Structure 1
Amino acid sequence: MDLKQISDMQLSMDERHGFPVKFDNASDMYAQLTRDLVGLFGEIGEFANIVKKVNIKLDRPQDYVFDLDSAKDNLSEELIDSLIYIIRIAAMLGIDLESEVVKKIRFNESRYAQLRKQ
């Protein structure tokens, strides 16, 4: 499954559940964009909090209780939640994530060519 198919699947599910990504006016769109942006930052914050807890556990294993084995699953969940918000935001703004990601990777390949390892 490619990114376009994943995006379409998410947006279809959003529509079935009443989470809008298409709007009649800019005011409504920007209000939803604001809500989704706050949601995205919340998910990124949850991801960062898990990373913080892993670092505490690594630095002071005797002083902090955190299951390092479950960190990957938790990080994965928060990262995917973040991606879902990014898919929604891109749809609201009419951004084709798949083509824009490919374009950016190609740009970065050139931009960072001097850092390439042989």
Structure 2
Amino acid sequence: MNINDLREIQINQDKKIGFDVTFTSNEDKYEQITKDLVGLFGEIGEFSNIVKKINIQLTNNAYNFNIDDAEIHLREEWVDTFIYLLRISAILGIDIESETLKKMKFNNTRYENLKR
């Protein structure tokens, strides 16, 4: 299975519950992207909050916080974030694999002088 297959699975699941990724106007399309961005940033915020609590626990034991349990929640929040990225890529018609490979190739050249 590749990343585009995962996106299709997610989009088909979304369609079944009424979250479409095709729109008749740019206004509707970008309104949905805005909603998905708010969701994405919310998930990133939840992920960040857990990381913050882990760091506080590690540096000064200020929380009664189980790091192993926290990592389970980190995984969940990270996947929630990824799902929003899949949705936005579908709305914009981005081929995630080819675009990522293209960007990685560009970055490889761009940062050539930083290689060790």
Cα distance in structure 2, aligned partners of 1:108 and 1:114: 11
1:95 equivalenced with 2:83 (yes/no): no
CA distance in 1, matches of 2:99, 2:28: 25
Per the alignment, residue 32 of structure 1 pairs with 32
Using the TM superposition, give the Cα deviation of residue 74 of structure 1 relative to its aligned residue in structure 2, in angstroms.
1.1
Q: What's the C-alpha RMSD, in Å, of the aligned pairs?
A: 1.1
4+ residue runs of structure 1 moved beyond 6 angstroms?
Answer: none
For structure 1, list consecutive stretches of 5 or more residues without a partner in the other structure. Answer: none
SS at match of 1:47: helix
CA shift, 1:89, in A, is 0.8
Overall identity of the aligned pairs, in %: 50
Who is 2:85 aligned against? Answer: 86
1:9-88 map, 5 Å: 9-61=9-61, 63-88=62-87
Q: Is 1:115 the counterpart of 2:110 in the alignment?
A: no
TM-score between the two structures when normalised by the length of structure 2: 0.94
Aligned-pair CA distance for 1:75: 1.0
What displacement does 1:99 show?
0.9
Q: Secondary structure at the match of 2:63?
A: coil
Q: Distance in 1 between matches of 2:38 and 2:66?
A: 28
Give the alignment's TM-score, normalised by structure 1.
Answer: 0.92
Q: Give the secondary structure class of the aligned counterpart of 1:36.
A: helix
Secondary structure in structure 1 of the residue aligned to 2:22 = coil
Range with bigger deviation, 26-35 or 45-54: 26-35
SS in 1 for 2:34: helix
